Structure formats: C-alpha cells, structure tokens
C-alpha cells in the first residue's frame, strides 16, 4: 500500500477594494501566482483585483483550506455563481482562524518561536518591518525574501533580499567578532550629521553602489552593536527617508517585473505572517488607548 505525502503549500485570504466579500483559498504554489490567475478568471475578476490580506504556509493546504471553508460555511456567498470560495465575513475573522491553527500544521514553527524567544531581536524585526513598509508589498513575496536563521557562512540572524540584492542582515556574534548589521538605502543618509556621528561610535562603514545592477545613489550601511542598537539606528535622522527612497523604488520595479527571486525557496512565509500579526496588534492597541 502506498501513501501520498501531504500537500504542503499556502492558505490565503484575499480582499478587494471593489468587494465587501473575501476569498479564502489554497495553493501548492506561491500566492502571487495564484492571485494572478484569480484576477484573470471568472467569476473572481469581476470583483477584483484581489490582493493578499493574510496567509500561512502549511504542511497540508487542502486540509487547512477545508477547515476554514467548513468553519465559515454559513457565510458562503451563494449569489455569485461558479465559485465556492467567496465569503461574506470580515477579513479579520478569517485571520483569527489562521492565527489559531494547530502549530503542527505551520511550516518551520520552531524557527518562528526562536525569533520571538529573543525579545530584543523580535523588537528589531518588528521595527525593521514597520520602518521599511515592506508589509505593504505582501503580494510580491518570493520576489522579496526574508530568511530567518539562514545557513550562511559565518551565521546570520536573518537576511532580507529585494530580488537578487541583499538589503538587510544581522550576523551572529562570535567570541572574536560582535554582531554586524547592514541596511541598504539611498545616499540621502549622507545629509544627516547626527546619524554619521552615531555610526562612527558603532564602527560604522558605508559602501556605495555595491551591486552592479543597482539603480545608483545607493549605499550599504554597516555597523556593530546589539539588537537594541540596531533598533535605535532606525530612529536616527534621515534613516527612514533613505530606506524608503531605495526600497520603495526597488519594490515597485520588482512588482512591475513580476518575477520570483532566486532565493524564493528560502523565504519564511510564516515569520512574515507572524510579524505582520504582531505589528497590527500593537497598532490596534495604540488606537484603543487613544
């Protein structure tokens, strides 16, 4: 008797500015490919374009998709013919189901736990994702990639790439060397003297236009320090502006190209999903406190 391996893949929640409904589905491929298909086919395209609201990479996407469809079966929209995946329910309700999935179904769950067990590292990741606005580009994940504790020479906490270009990383400390952080940005950062003084105090180094295929006027900023130092760096004058200038243009270009990165297979979907969930939770907490 032969057994069939569980189909690992993604379960996703899509929203559209042109519909009060949501779409819940699953795919064995990266969501970007499936979203393009959905936006091009009947009956979904009439209610789109659809964008990625939430997602999880799971060990058995068919099983998880069925669980969500069953849980929300009373909200299935029957007035749209030819489909069984559109629901009249708030997107947050579907996100709540994803957040409560059995941990054994979540791909690389122990790695996510490891990130949040290091509170200072988690704070830096949350701040980096918020400062760079990378979560505004959920649909093109796989074009930009986030690798958590990758198996690289020397060791890394994480590596973040936009296309082929490494745009941020933090190295693991060793007895001989401290943790080194790198963030790639526009040379606008040169305009801020306070930031240069801070970098000088943290063994800072600036390396211009490291990539032959970059757009120019770019600089890799290296510095040594703790995760607390790295989070502090993001608050320095001009840093956010310089990051957004480079990252925003690079991500827009990536979206136009619509291609997957060579590093897509290393992208940690669930770490991104969890960071997004925590950042949204913090934002909601602040709103309620006002």
167-205 pLDDT, tens per residue? 999 999 888 789 999 999 999 999 999 999 999 999 999
Q: Kindly list the strands in the beta sheet with 165-171, ordered across the sheet, starting from the edge strand earlier in the chain.
A: 144-148, 156-162, 165-171, 180-186, 218-224, 205-208
On whether both 201 and 251 belong to a single domain, the answer is: yes
Q: If you average pLDDT over residues 79-98, what whole number do you get?
A: 94
On whether both 81 and 121 belong to a single domain, the answer is: no
On whether both 115 and 63 belong to a single domain, the answer is: no
On whether both 181 and 208 belong to a single domain, the answer is: yes
Place of tokens 């091009």: 40
On whether both 181 and 77 belong to a single domain, the answer is: no
Q: Return the minimum-mean-pLDDT range out of 4-18, 132-146, 268-282.
A: 4-18
**Is the pLDDT score of 1 beyond 50?**
no
pLDDT at 153: 66
Last residue of a domain, one of 105, 139, 173: 105
Q: Establish if 4 belongs to a structural domain.
A: no
On whether both 171 and 235 belong to a single domain, the answer is: yes
pLDDT at 216: 76
Last residue of a domain, one of 84, 105, 126: 105
pLDDT at 6: 57
The contacts of residue 245 (CB under 8 Å, 6+ apart) are 185, 186, 188
Domain that holds residue 147: 109-289
Last residue of a domain, one of 105, 133, 156: 105
pLDDT at 221: 98
Cis peptide before 43 (omega within 30 of 0): yes
On whether both 23 and 136 belong to a single domain, the answer is: no
pLDDT at 133: 96
The contacts of residue 225 (CB under 8 Å, 6+ apart) are 178, 179, 181, 202, 233
pLDDT at 5: 53
How many domains is the chain built from?
2
Q: Look at the chain and count its residues.
A: 290
On whether both 117 and 51 belong to a single domain, the answer is: no
pLDDT at 171: 95
**Is the pLDDT score of 106 beyond 80?**
yes
On whether both 212 and 163 belong to a single domain, the answer is: yes
**Is the pLDDT score of 288 beyond 80?**
no
On whether both 73 and 123 belong to a single domain, the answer is: no
Q: Establish if 183 belongs to a structural domain.
A: yes
């Amino acid at each position: 008797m032969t057994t069939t391996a569980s189909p690992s893949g993604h379960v996703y929640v899509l929203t559209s500015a042109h519909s009060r409904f949501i779409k819940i589905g699953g795919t064995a491929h990266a969501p970007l490919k499936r979203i393009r298909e959905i936006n091009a086919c009947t009956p979904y395209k009439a209610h789109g374009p659809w964008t990625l609201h939430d997602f999880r990479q799971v060990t058995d996407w068919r099983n998880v998709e069925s669980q969500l469809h069953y849980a929300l079966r009373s909200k299935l929209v029957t007035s749209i013919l030819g489909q069984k995946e559109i629901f009249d329910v708030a997107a947050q309700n579907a996100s709540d189901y994803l957040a409560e999935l059995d941990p054994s179904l979540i791909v690389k769950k122990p790695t996510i736990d490891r990130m949040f067990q290091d509170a200072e590292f988690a704070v830096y990741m949350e701040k980096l994702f918020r400062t760079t606005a990378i979560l505004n580009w959920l649909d093109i994940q796989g074009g930009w990639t986030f690798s958590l504790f990758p198996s690289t020479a020397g060791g890394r906490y994480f590596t973040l790439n936009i296309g082929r270009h490494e745009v941020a990383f933090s190295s693991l400390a060793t007895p001989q060397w401290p943790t080194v952080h790198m963030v790639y940005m526009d040379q606008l950062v040169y305009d801020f003297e306070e930031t240069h003084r801070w970098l000088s105090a943290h063994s800072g180094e600036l390396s211009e236009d490291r990539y032959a295929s970059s757009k120019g006027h770019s600089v890799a900023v290296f510095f040594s320090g703790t995760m607390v130092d790295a989070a502090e760096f993001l608050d320095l004058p001009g840093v956010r502006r310089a990051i957004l200038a480079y990252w925003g243009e690079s991500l827009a270009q990536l979206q136009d190209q619509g291609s997957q990165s060579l590093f897509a297979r290393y992208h940690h979907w669930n770490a991104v999903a969890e960071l997004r969930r925590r950042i949204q939770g913090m934002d909601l907490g602040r709103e309620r406190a006002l």
